[in-house]
Structure 1
Amino acid sequence: MQKKLLLIALSLPGLALAAEGMWTLDNLPMNRLQAEYGFKPGPEWIKNTMLSSVKLPGCSGSFVSKDGLVMTNHHCASGCIEQLSTAKQNYVSNGFLARKHSEEQVCPAMELNRLEDITDVTEDVRKATAGLEGTSFKQAQNAIEATLTAACVGDDKEKTRCDVVDLYHGGRYHLYKYHRYADTRLVWAPEKAIAFFGGDPDNFNFPRYDLDIAMLRVYENGKPADIKHYFPFSKNGPQEGEMSFVTGHPGSTQRQLTMAQLISLRDIGLVDSLQHTAELRGVVTQYRKTSPEAARTADQALFGIENRYKAGTGRLQTLLDPEFMARQQAEETALRQFVNSRPELKEKIGGAWDAIARAQDSYRQLFRVTNMTEGAEAFNSNYFRLARMLVRAAEEKAKANAERLPEFIDTRLPAVQQNLFSKAPIYPEFEKLKLTHSLTKMREDLGVDHAFVKQVLGKLSPEQLTDKLIDRTRLADVEYRKTLWNGGKEAIALSDDPFIKLALAVEAESRTYRKRMEQEVQAIVQKNSELIAQARFAQSGTSVYPDATATLRLSYGEVKGWDQGEHKIRPFTNFAGAFERDTGAYPFALPASWQAAKGKLNLQQPYNFVTTNDIIGGNSGSPLINRNGEIIGLAFDGNIHSLGGAFWYDGRSNRTVAVHSGGILEAMDKIYNARELLKELTGK
């Protein structure tokens, strides 16, 4: 029976082992690499890859010079670009180029991290949580993670960050030590019109013609950081069929979830999220039409909303695909049969799937109200985000480190402060739009008579409460936020700021639902997922890669197009194609800088290309490198077929979309005249 089910899984169309996987750098599939491509990376190659890779908030990047120059996507740096822009100088629309270090501008709220060391702490975590259930299990887990990270960071909190990383859903726990760069500055960003050429219609599609790139620089002690490991640029870039590697920080995949978890995600999580996101997209789209300033201040938000909606739609379509669900069911059944065939495993692990399934009943009951309260989906405003951060920090800092919420342990506080004291502008009118919408959705989802809705709104409408809160808040003032931070619980209690009062008022209810979700769902799922991971290890060891966890991974593949029906999609586009696609109207309007430079460009220069590398959201900004560790491209998207990549990899059509290294250099030289940057990148 077990063999039959495995054959069913393997025979389902699209199942492919080649190029599949987001691998941790301490457990690369050496035998597969050697067998498939005749390449086996050595210790120095792996070390250089790790130390040349950079983690950005929600994105990836790489060092590309010895002077701290970092390459990432334009959309990964768009928060910084927008925050540095004004109504008079719009760097989003006009682009930005610093021709010397003194012109580079500090990103108000951006921290970069470079992974430097990995330690297996599985036994430490298991000993701390052994025999515990529910809340006790979660508290013990939080406490041991606080202890381990504190010891890892030591006295260097400003430049060191440490995280305990859950791999294989609890099958392994590793301690990741990072070098923290808190001073990040904008160096170069092209116009958004070319960074996101084609807009939402072209998003997750190919052929593409995007220069989705930005250059940042990290500083230490007021000077560009001295970097010993970085990726040099390949001017020629890749050829069709050439091997490619993507190194980056894929956010989250769900390829090892149980069927019960996938069904919950399909029926509740994705449906709710897509409904809210679709409505918010319409609201923000209309708001942007009200004035040029509204269009500017809401631009980044709309990009994120549209991207999230299209990606979520692709994920839902995958979970609605009977063929995919049959494949997942066959794999799960085969693993359960394997466990049941071994008495020692059956006794210990046999009930894990059923325990997770029972926890999904609690998840369904708690999901919406927990999202609105603890998840703060009822309060979509930067003002509330700051207020909650201040309220919780005051409460948590007064506790022993091991007893705090994980986000406020000592090793996290430098990042919390950087975020809290950021000088990034907040736009009151846009905040009103977002908060009114989220309060309205709270009332719709939970119902007018729900106790939490009554507590928040009282006799006011969402619009009335929003005006009352935003018109009177002082939280836009960084100095006021510092006063509340330094004043602790007493200052928070005495504050008359309406957002501080709101955060205090909903804190008890929010923590209650957080605790229930941890006790009734997360702790049960975590404990039993650890058991299922042990079953996988017994079956196949660590020859299987873990789900993505926003930590550094390496994927391998090759430059290759795909067949779409009767059409063969070639792997490269060129500059000529960008001008052919130009209509002069948004979102297919090339910037004036491109029109002016057309006569100087090599129009046959490869521009964007696709590879078979296995990536997911969070890989944006990842470098593509070759066997020699040279930059051959910059990943910025996946194609439409990759949207189900959260759940599986289909080697027939899943593709990474990247900017060609030669195309980057061509544009920097002939369009943007970024000569100093070119010299820094090429050494010429």
Structure 2
Amino acid sequence: MKLFNKKSWSLLLFLAVSAPTIMAKSPDEGMFPLSELSRAGLKNAGLKISEKDIYNPGKVGLVDALVQVSGCTGSFISSSGLIITNHHCAFSAVQLASTPIDNYLRNGFVAQSHEQEIEARGLTIRITDSYEDVSDKILAAVAHITDPSERITLIKKKQQELVEEAQKQDPTIKAEVSEMFIGKTYVLFRYKTIEDVRLVYIPRQTIGEFGGETDNWVWPRHTGDYSFLRAYVGKDGASAKFSKDNIPYQPKKFLKVNPKGVNENDFVFILGYPGKTFRHRPAQYIQYQQNFLLPYVSNLYEFQNERMYEAGKTDRATALALATRIKRNANVLKNYKGKLKGLRNIDLINTKKKDDQALAAFILSKPDLKSKYGSLMSEIDGLYTLINQDAYKELWMNNIYTSTSLMRIAREINSFKLTLQQQNSSEQQKAFFEANKENVKTALLEIYESYSNYADERILAHMFADAQAFQGNNQIETIQKLKLRDANLANAYGSQLIRNTKLNGCTQVLNQILSSPNAFLAFSDPLLDFQNSLNQDIQQFAVEQKRRDGILNKLMGDYVAVKEMYQSKNFIPDANSTLRLTFGNVKGYSPVDATYMNPFTTIAGIIQKGNLGETDFDYPSEIKTAWENKNFGPYVKKELNDVPVNLLYNMDTTGGNSGSPIMNAYGELIGVNFDRSYDATINDFAWNDSYSRSIGVDIRYVLWVADKIDHAQFILKEMGI
């Protein structure tokens, strides 16, 4: 990491705080930013190395072994750019590399040499290079702005200015400004990007996805959710696109793998890039989640997956093309259902309401706070009342393009057509068309790769029927203009749009419609007309949403500021895909009365589940043979007389922590995080040691499968096992 000046590092990055060090004997909630490690009480909790061995500005630490793999986390585990992450994090790249003949998703993949490694299309690696607090710069730009829309516009403008300035100073980095506390704290991150990523070792599907959706978000678990990738760069060491001439990347730091693993109650910690949590939000936000977003998206994704499963039943190529969409939907679907269950079980809305009422009373009890924040809670309530009035309209608009591939195709074509029409002359149109045609084709081809006419037709028909039923502020003008009297007519109209469009033929679109500027501009289609009209509705609604975002930005900044004063403590900011640390212990739990869940599962559990005869519990026969022969090698856990498969711990994780390295007290890799228990899906809103448990694959199982089952001993040798 780069060393900044004293002023930059003297800022307590991510939070404007000046509190004494908190020494926690047991883990508490918190995904600690690197600048806040001294507040975590790591040494008291069991860390055996120095905190500076984890992170020390200007020097090499464990954080330098961490990478962001698209939306997941990974870690370097060799000097030659070898990375370990989750199977599900590499899933889309494995899908794109697969064909019905060479089905790496189903059969797995083992490269016995660098030359055999396969391009991981769509995957990039990001490494956090440095960061600095820029809150003062951004908030100063809106200090005297009262108009909500203008506030959001200026914040985004200032963020972009800071990004451009950072990238101008160092063209080798990509910069981002992340909002740590909404409307309050902003941090500029500098990232190094590696574009050439390759598949090295992918376990077969019956290992990497053992348990399927039956076991997803469930404990006990027996899933080998791991994959090995490799980062490549140009011969000059700089990031470069895929090329046979590229060489393995040499990281500043890589993690040492400890094949002995851990025991129950051992201290463990995780570094990673957790996605988003929403713990510092008022009761109204939780109410919106419980009443609108979670049930709407759950029902929609369930319908989508049913149609996509049907589409792939009779065609293996279609099933393969839709595999990533189905997996992502299923993961979100079960997560959201778990959240709904958790919200109701702990009655979080009423808990938040009581907290907010106490906060309001605190504000009114202090004359200085009353004059500044006296209307804060009523303003929050008024804003969410407005948001709830057209919640279904917003959710429908947010999901229409992710639901239907041809709607995204139509949007791409209409966008290109509009820009082409804005050129001043036919010569400029031709030049612009030729300069951008291939990029448009590439974008369209990526969408067509996961397209199913059968699924699209039925999903769009379903979306039309939903929209037709909306009332009041939720009505969508483009749908209303069609005068579809009931759900059946709406369903039939949506179905007909897909059935009759010329866009359902990839070859025709890429080769004929995009053959020339004149052919492209002359092309018309009912689906293009519908998308164009709908886009106007969406753009009009976006103006109102921007205004609301501006109001929310200011209100949430004030809400957190007052809450800090009320509770006389500082907050760890919500996760936002930036590098964080969380810690805890290997620990079981009791999810229901009279039940205790042990923190380790074993190969014996794989055999037991396999005996149920369900497809989700199929596994390679070699596993049973090796288990029956007690061919455990050095990976056995003596207390279990078996190889541990998955482990459970009370760390604070969320989406984005998939693939995060689980480390012991000495900073050695002992597992890879991949999931949470069903009761812990609510972690995004609230964390509690009684039910918040995360799940990882034990490194001993990874090594055992690589050694005894998949004969990938080169992996062990490269890791120094």
- Whether these two folds match at TM > 0.5 is yes
Q: Deviations over 1:178-213 (max 9, x none)?
A: 111222211111111111211222111122111001
Matches within 5 A, 1:440-459: 440-447=462-469, 450-453=476-479
Distance 1:217 1:378 in 2: 33
Q: Does structure 1 retain, via aligned residues, the 8 Å contact 2:65–2:255?
A: yes
Aligned residue in 2 for 1:406? none
Whether 2:683 is the aligned partner of 1:645: answer yes
Report SS of the residue matched to 1:70.
strand
TM-score, normalising length from structure 1? 0.86
Q: Which of 236, 244, 264 is the matching residue for 2:268?
A: 244
Distance 1:104 1:542, change over 3 A: farther
Question: What is the percent sequence identity of the aligned residues?
Answer: 23
Aligned residue in 2 for 1:622? 660
Aligned residue in 2 for 1:438? 460
Q: Which of 654, 669, 673 is the matching residue for 2:707?
A: 669
Aligned residue in 2 for 1:534? 561
Unaligned runs of 5+ in 2: 1-24, 235-245, 423-437, 637-641
Distance 1:340 1:39 in 2: 47
Segment of structure 1 superposing worse, 555-564 or 540-549: 540-549
Whether 2:611 is the aligned partner of 1:573: answer no
Q: Please report how far the alpha carbon of residue 500 of structure 1 lies from its aligned counterpart in structure 2 after TM superposition.
A: 6.2
Aligned residue in 1 for 2:201? 188
Aligned residue in 1 for 2:435? none
Matches within 5 A, 1:108-507: 108-130=121-143, 131-154=145-168, 159-221=172-234, 222-321=246-345, 323-373=347-397, 375-377=398-400, 380-385=403-408, 388=411, 424=446, 426-427=448-449, 430-434=452-456, 436-447=458-469, 450-453=476-479, 461-469=493-501, 471-472=503-504, 474=506, 503-507=531-535
Q: Does structure 2 retain, via aligned residues, the 8 Å contact 1:19–1:651?
A: yes
TM-score, normalising length from structure 2? 0.82
Q: Deviations over 1:476-533 (max 9, x none)?
A: 988999999xx9xx998666687766554433222111121111x2111111101112
The code of the aligned residue for 1:214 comes to: S
Q: Please report how far the alpha carbon of residue 588 of structure 1 lies from its aligned counterpart in structure 2 after TM superposition.
A: 0.9
Aligned residue in 2 for 1:402? none
Distance 1:385 1:226, change over 3 A: farther
Whether 2:72 is the aligned partner of 1:78: answer no
Q: Does structure 1 retain, via aligned residues, the 8 Å contact 2:298–2:333?
A: yes
Distance 2:157 2:413 in 1: 22
Distance 1:507 1:467 in 2: 21
Q: Please report how far the alpha carbon of residue 384 of structure 1 lies from its aligned counterpart in structure 2 after TM superposition.
A: 3.7
Q: Does structure 2 retain, via aligned residues, the 8 Å contact 1:391–1:504?
A: yes
Distance 1:591 1:84, change over 3 A: same
Distance 1:73 1:503, change over 3 A: same
Distance 1:425 1:393, change over 3 A: closer
Q: Please report how far the alpha carbon of residue 135 of structure 1 lies from its aligned counterpart in structure 2 after TM superposition.
A: 1.5
Q: Which of 620, 625, 632 is the matching residue for 1:601?
A: 632
Q: Does structure 2 retain, via aligned residues, the 8 Å contact 1:421–1:482?
A: no
Distance 1:528 1:200, change over 3 A: same
Distance 1:259 1:278 in 2: 27
Q: Does structure 2 retain, via aligned residues, the 8 Å contact 1:108–1:422?
A: no
Distance 2:420 2:655 in 1: 33
Distance 1:531 1:431, change over 3 A: farther
Q: Deviations over 1:369-424 (max 9, x none)?
A: 23333x2525623454355457658989999xxxxxxxxxxxxxxxx979965975
Matches within 5 A, 1:547-586: 547-564=574-591, 565-583=593-611, 584-586=613-615
Q: Which one has more relative contact order, counting CA pairs under 8 Å at least 6 apart?
A: 1
Report SS of the residue matched to 1:28.
helix
Distance 1:29 1:535, change over 3 A: farther
Q: Does structure 2 retain, via aligned residues, the 8 Å contact 1:19–1:612?
A: no
Q: Deviations over 1:252-278 (max 9, x none)?
A: 212111111211221111221122122
Distance 1:471 1:229 in 2: 49
Distance 1:397 1:114 in 2: 37
Q: Deviations over 1:37-88 (max 9, x none)?
A: 3668423422523322222233222222222222111111111111111111
Q: Please report how far the alpha carbon of residue 612 of structure 1 lies from its aligned counterpart in structure 2 after TM superposition.
A: 0.6
Q: Please report how far the alpha carbon of residue 558 of structure 1 lies from its aligned counterpart in structure 2 after TM superposition.
A: 0.6
Give RMSD over aligned pairs: 3.4
Report SS of the residue matched to 2:31.
coil
Q: Does structure 1 retain, via aligned residues, the 8 Å contact 2:457–2:498?
A: yes
Segment of structure 1 superposing worse, 648-657 or 565-574: 565-574
The code of the aligned residue for 1:141 comes to: I
Distance 1:329 1:618, change over 3 A: same
Q: Does structure 1 retain, via aligned residues, the 8 Å contact 2:514–2:520?
A: no
Distance 2:170 2:512 in 1: 28
Q: Does structure 2 retain, via aligned residues, the 8 Å contact 1:33–1:40?
A: no
Q: Deviations over 1:151-204 (max 9, x none)?
A: 1222766x5221111112222111111111222211111111111211222111
Give the number of aligned pairs.
Answer: 646
Distance 1:202 1:64, change over 3 A: same
Aligned residue in 2 for 1:6? none
Distance 1:65 1:629, change over 3 A: same
Matches within 5 A, 1:42-121: 42-47=51-56, 48-121=61-134
Distance 1:350 1:162, change over 3 A: farther
Q: Does structure 2 retain, via aligned residues, the 8 Å contact 1:421–1:481?
A: no
Distance 1:193 1:681, change over 3 A: same
Aligned residue in 1 for 2:9? none
Distance 1:55 1:277 in 2: 27
Q: Does structure 1 retain, via aligned residues, the 8 Å contact 2:307–2:458?
A: no
Distance 1:423 1:184 in 2: 21
Q: Please report how far the alpha carbon of residue 356 of structure 1 lies from its aligned counterpart in structure 2 after TM superposition.
A: 1.9
Q: Does structure 2 retain, via aligned residues, the 8 Å contact 1:108–1:423?
A: no
